[in-house]
Homo-oligomer: A and B are copies of this chain.
Amino acid sequence: MANLPESGLQIRTLITPEGVLELSLAEVPVKPPGENEVVVRVEGTPINPSDLGLLVGGADMSTAVQGGTAARPTITAKVPEAGMRAMKARIGQDLPVGNEGAGTVIAAGSSPAAQALMGKMVTCLGGEMYSQYRTLNVAQCMMLPEGTTAEQGASCYVNPLTSLSFVETMRAEGHSAIVHTAAASNLGQMLVKICLKDGVPLVNIVRKEEQAALLRGLGATHIVNSTSPTFMEDLIQAIMETGATIGFDAIGGGTLAGQILVAMEAAASRKMKEYSRYGSGQETQVYIYGRLDLSPTVVSPGLGFSWNLSGYLLTPFLQKAAPETRARMYKRVIDELNTTFASHYTKTLSLAEALDLPTLHAYNAKATGEKYLIDPSR
Contacts and interface: CB of A to CB of B under 8 A. Distances in A.
Contacts of A255: 296
B294 A301 contact: yes
A301 B269 CA distance: 31
A182 to B, nearest CB: 16
A309 interface: yes
Contact of A299 (B294, B296, B312): B296
Number of copies: 2
A277 B50 CA distance: 9
Interface string A244-279: 000000001101001000000000010010011110
Contact of A275 (B90, B302, B308): B90
Given A54-B277, A89-B275, A311-B307, A299 B301 contact: no
A310 to B, nearest CB: 4
Contacts of A253: 301
A174 interface: no
A49 to B, nearest CB: 12
Contacts of A315: 278
A303 B298 contact: no
A325 interface: no
A321 interface: no
Give the bracket for the number of chain A residues in contact with chain B: 35 or more
A281 interface: yes
- In this complex, which of A275, A307, A313 has the most chain B Cβ atoms within 10 angstroms of its Cβ? A275
Nearest to A265: B311
- In this complex, which of A252, A253, A310 has the most chain B Cβ atoms within 10 angstroms of its Cβ? A310
Nearest to A91: B275
A311 B301 contact: no
Give the dominant DSSP class at A's interface: mixed
Given A301-B291, A309-B308, A313-B306, A296 B53 contact: no
B301 A312 contact: no
Contacts of A301: 86, 252-253, 291, 294, 296-297
Interface in A280-300: 281, 289, 291, 294, 296-300
B95 A275 contact: yes
A112 interface: no
A176 to B, nearest CB: 20
A306 B316 CA distance: 9
A304 interface: yes
A275 B255 CA distance: 30
A345 interface: no
Given A89-B272, A90-B277, A275-B89, A306 B298 contact: no
A75 B298 CA distance: 34
Contacts of A7: none
Contacts of A305: 289, 311-313, 316
29 contacts: A53-B277, A85-B302, A86-B302, A89-B269, A89-B272, A89-B275, A89-B276, A90-B277, A252-B301, A253-B301, A258-B296, A278-B313, A291-B301, A294-B301, A296-B299, A296-B300, A296-B301, A297-B298, A297-B300, A298-B298, A299-B299, A305-B311, A305-B312, A305-B313, A307-B310, A308-B308, A308-B310, A308-B311, A310-B310
Given A53-B277, A304-B311, A305-B312, 11 more contacts: A86-B301, A86-B302, A89-B275, A90-B277, A253-B301, A255-B296, A281-B316, A296-B301, A305-B313, A306-B311, A310-B310
The 4 closest A-B pairs by CB, nearest first: A305-B313, A305-B311, A297-B299, A308-B310
